[in-house]
Amino acid sequence: MKAAGMCMKAAMAILFIFMIGALGYFAFSADGPDGLERTMENAGVAEHGSVYDAPLDYGEDYQAYLLTGVIGFVAVIAVSLFIAKMLAKKNETQPDR
Amino acid sequence: MHIPDGLIWPLIMLVGWGIGITAVAIAARKCSRSLTNERIPTMAILAAGIFVAQMLNFPIIGGTTGHLLGATLATLIVGPWAAIIVMSIVIVIQGLLFGDGGILAMGLNLANMAVVAVAVSAVFLRLLKGVGTEAAVIVASWFSVFIAALICAVELAVSDLAAPGAYGIVWSLSMPFMLGLYSVIAIGEAIITASVAKYFMLVHPGLIATAKSAPEASA
């Protein structure tokens, strides 16, 4: 119970930092390419050949960005819990070595 | 550093899938022997934290931006095998849900960011154990990004050599740009990772105490 409370607090703290950090992102970085994108730009290489349309994107404005951040945050927690529980269950069912 | 589809020569992407899947399978097997229920919430929160941290690009030079990779932080807190799982979950969800990084290139992204970056982190954290956690974290996080970028630059260069004009970027451009830009982005990685590690050492020393033994414990 204590661990669950601590995790909830940690999740809230991370999302709060994300809310603040996203303000800085939109103020200073939203339009800038990352290192690989800049290298591609400088080499005159454009993105092509995508074979998959993702259901979501990160959004163009602050609110959309926050929303997709929260959706991704929850999705990652859910998938991580599922996978980690499966792995831990395997560990518990294995005989002691 | 998320490689999109259509950039890398298909054979290299295939090798990336081989490395990525093999490493994730080995990591899952190692975790299935050592992961306890107590560490599950830490893994989940860590993965989600790295996911949102990767959304927060920071400016570096000339309008270029970078973001936290998180491999060293993950290795420090949950150990290298669980860190491979954590990073893989983040990369797969970024690709499948948000189109961040190509689907065909996902194996290569796993190899670069979840395997190489974590392996480099684990090696430096272990090598520098004697000089103190802060120094080890700074060096490990810088090298985790730099070496991953170096590998990515090599993939671009080899793709260009294999199929000039169709795939990759010529080595005389890919090497200096990738290494130059990511050597600066890696400084941001080192600052953020060291700050978060310092915070945990002050307010949640148990987490770092676990971390100190994690690389050996789960190796």
- Alpha-carbon distances of B192 from A66, B30, B50, B103, rounded to whole Å: 21, 29, 12, 29
Residue of B nearest to A75 (CA): B93
B168 CA to chain A: closest CA distance, Å?
A: 8
Percentage of chain B lying above the pLDDT 70 cut: 95
- Top pLDDT among B209 and B147 is at B147
Taking CB atoms and an 8 Å cutoff, what residues of chain A touch B177? Answer: 35, 38-39, 42-43
Q: What is the pLDDT of residue B31?
A: 95
Please judge whether A15 and B3 are an interchain contact, meaning their C-beta atoms are less than 8 angstroms apart: no
- Is-contact B66 B57, C-beta < 8 A? yes
- Alpha-carbon distances of A18 from A66, B9, B58, B120, B128, rounded to whole Å: 8, 36, 13, 27, 31
Q: What is the pLDDT of residue B216?
A: 44
Does the pLDDT at position A6 exceed 60?
yes
Q: What is the pLDDT of residue A96?
A: 55
Is residue A49 very low, low, confident or very high in pLDDT (cuts 50, 70, 90)? confident
State pLDDT tens for residues B95-140: 999 999 999 999 999 999 999 999 999 999 999 989 999 999 999 9
**Range from A48-57, B90-99, B102-111, B159-168 carrying the lowest mean pLDDT:** A48-57
> Predicted ipTM?
0.94
Q: What is the pLDDT of residue B207?
A: 80
Does the pLDDT at position A92 exceed 90?
no
**Range from B45-54, B149-158, B196-205 carrying the lowest mean pLDDT:** B196-205
**Range from A45-54, B49-58, B170-179 carrying the lowest mean pLDDT:** A45-54
Q: What is the pLDDT of residue A50?
A: 87
Confidence (pTM): 0.94
Taking CB atoms and an 8 Å cutoff, what residues of chain B touch A80? Answer: 43-44, 47-48, 86, 89
CA proximity to B86, closest of B141, B151, B39: B39
- Is-contact B57 B67, C-beta < 8 A? yes
- Is-contact B181 B169, C-beta < 8 A? no
